[in-house]
Each structure stands twice: as structure tokens, then as C-alpha cells.
Amino acid sequence: MPTCPTRLTVLALLLAASPAAPAQTAPAAQPAMGKPVRVVSLCFKAGASLETIAGIVDGEGARGADLVCLPEAWRGNDVVEPLSGPTVSTMSQLARKHRCYVVCPIYKLEDGRRFNSTVLIDRTGAVSGVYDKIFPYWSEFDLKPPAVPGQGDVVVLDTDFGRVGLATCYDAKFPEVFQRLRDRGAELVVWSSAYSGFTELQAFALMHHYYIVTSTLTGDSVVYDITGALLRDERGPGPVTVSRFTLDMDRTIYHYNFNLEKRARLLAEHAADVALDADMPREEWFVLRAARPGVSARSLGREYGLEELRPYKDRSRIGVDAIRGFSFSERYGGYPGRKVPADARSGAPNQAAPAPPAETPTP
């Protein structure tokens, strides 16, 4: 069977991915401030050719990207392929060539079934993990073959710059997905989608204190901070929006409670090392960042006994539940559709509630 020009071009790109000696010695890299990760979000309409997008990823990798993000099912509804298929194989070669991570969503074919999947490829070109969309949109069940809802938990993966969680499109309508990403320690969530999402994602960044980066089929790229602040809202003039930005994964958020004296001492004794990046008195939060290369604001905060905001919330929940004698979340929590115990539905007290422990955590 003759080979089409597109396949020839992609094949040439893969062959070019073989490591080669540099023509000249690269200049020494400058020391980094904090823990920076250079991110590229590509946004464009579905059905873009593998050749075109591979060429852009190749160029962005050559510019020094650490993480390149692609939109949901960007090859289109008709391209359903295994992980060993051309899409993941091409992106794996490019990740290896440029020593970068790539978030590559596909319609994955597995045992004859279609999953809306997001694949994280690491710097060696290996598949680090695969997330199967937990909440496909209704029209996906009309595809041939139909989409199958993800059967497992959310996926949060370790990278050399932090823990990356994955979510897809319609998942944004279901807060439990983003709560689980938080519970599993996500520091950055990549949300690949067919629509923009915008402020509903801001709510999750605000409540769970992770960065959220979007890559969409609508052409717009949005980034939210660990405080919920909108860092970027970009739409390029051409068919493909290429949004480039750097996130500092060492920036750390705290509550005022039990931390202000420790913060004052830290900033006084390490004025050249750590800076107060954000002070939010109405929320009673603050953010610290490194002020010079080679310093970790998070590590210094721990040395001075500062408790980060997420652990503080967790500790408070456990402590108050212990005083109450039962877990509020387990008895009354959950989301519509979750089965709730009869005593919780009626409001009757649970006579079997355990007594509080002899010792309770100090809030």
C-alpha cells in the first residue's frame, strides 16, 4: 500500500528525533529562581493533522519547553487508536528528542472499547500514566464505538517539577473529580477540553490551591494560580494558539492562623532569600516565594514550622471531627446521586456515633 505524504513527513520527524551531538556548546544556563516549569498550551480546533501539530510541538520543544499540553481528543472523533498508535508514538519521540513532558489526549482503543483518554508522556518518551475521562459528555455515547466512562480513580503523576493531575472537559461539572485531584496531592492540573471552562475552573483553583492550565479546542488558553487568580487568558490570531508561560512550583500558600509570628521571623532572618509574594488579608492567606536562586521557599517555611494551607485544613477537619465524635463528611457529605445513610436524610441523630478519642489534635 503506498505511503501518504503526511506519514512520510511524520516518519522523517521521528527519524530526526535521534540524539545527535550539538554543533556547538550551549551557553551555561542561568540559575533558576524557585522551581520553574516552562509550559506551552496549544489550542486549536479538532481534526488538526498529526503532521501540523507534531511540527509545532517539535518547535516548542526546541525552544526549551518542559511541558507541552494538547486539547481533548484533538485528532477528532474518527481517530480511535491504541497507545501504540501513531499519535502517542509521534509525541513520545518528540518528548524524548527534546527531553520534555507532553500531555496528549486521544480516543484510546482498548479491547474494542473507546475511552476518552489523556496520556502523560515523560522526558524519556515513556508513557508515565493514562487518565480515562470519568464523565464523558452525552454525545460521546453516540459515537461508534461509544465512549466508556473511566472505571478508575483520578490520575495524579509525579514529575521532576511536581505532581500533575489530569482532567478532561465535562469533568469540570463534577466537583468530586477536582476534590480527588486535591486529595491525591496534585500541584498542577492540566485540563484538556472541547470548551473554555473559564470561571468554573477558577473555583477549583481557589478552593484546592493548585495551578490549573487549560488546552482547548475553542482556541483559548487559561491559567489559574494557587490563589485562584487568573494568570493568563490568551487567544492567538491564527488557527493555533501557542501560549507560553512559566509557573513557579515552589510558591507556597499559607493561612494566617498560627503562622504570622513564624512568618515574621522567617522574613526577618532570610530577607534576601524569601519574599512575601502575595498577602490576602480578606482571606487571611499569604504566599511565599524564593527571592534568589538556589533557595526553596517551601523548604525554609518548613524549617520555621509554617503549616501550608492544605495540610492545615486537613488537620482542622480531623480535629473538629474528633471532638464531634464522627466525620461530618462521611455522614452528611457527598454529591447528588450518592447514597446517604437514612439517619442523615431524616436528620435523626446517629445513636451509634463513636465517642471522641481521649486525645484530640490541637487546631
More confident residue, 37 or 47: 37
CA separation (Å) from 361 to 35, 69, 255, 317? 33, 42, 18, 10
Contacts of 176 by beta carbon, 8 Å cutoff, 6+ apart? 335
* Percent of the chain clearing pLDDT 90 (strictly above): 80
CATH domain 34-248 topology: Nitrilase/N-carbamoyl-D-aminoacid amidohydrolase (3.60.110)
- pLDDT for 334 equals 73
Q: How would residue 339 be classed by pLDDT, with cut points 50, 70 and 90?
A: low
> Do 202 and 224 meet the contact criterion of CB atoms below 8 Å apart?
yes
N-to-C CA span, the chain: 70
Q: What is the b/e burial string over 228-256, where b = at least 16 CB atoms within 10 angstroms of the residue's CB?
A: beebbebeeeeeebbbeeebbbbbbbbbe
Of 128, 129, 130, 122, which is closest to residue 95 (Cα–Cα)? 122
Measured CA to CA, the distance from residue 354 to residue 361 in angstroms comes to 17
pLDDT of 13 higher than 90 = no
> Do 88 and 106 meet the contact criterion of CB atoms below 8 Å apart?
yes
> Do 218 and 194 meet the contact criterion of CB atoms below 8 Å apart?
yes
Q: Could you report the per-residue pLDDT of 152-208, keeping only the tens digit for each?
A: 999 999 999 999 999 999 999 999 999 999 999 999 999 999 999 999 999 999 999
CA separation (Å) from 147 to 25, 63, 116, 165, 250? 49, 36, 7, 21, 38
More confident residue, 345 or 197: 197
| Domain coordinates in residue numbering, the chain | 34-248, 252-307, 310-336+344-363
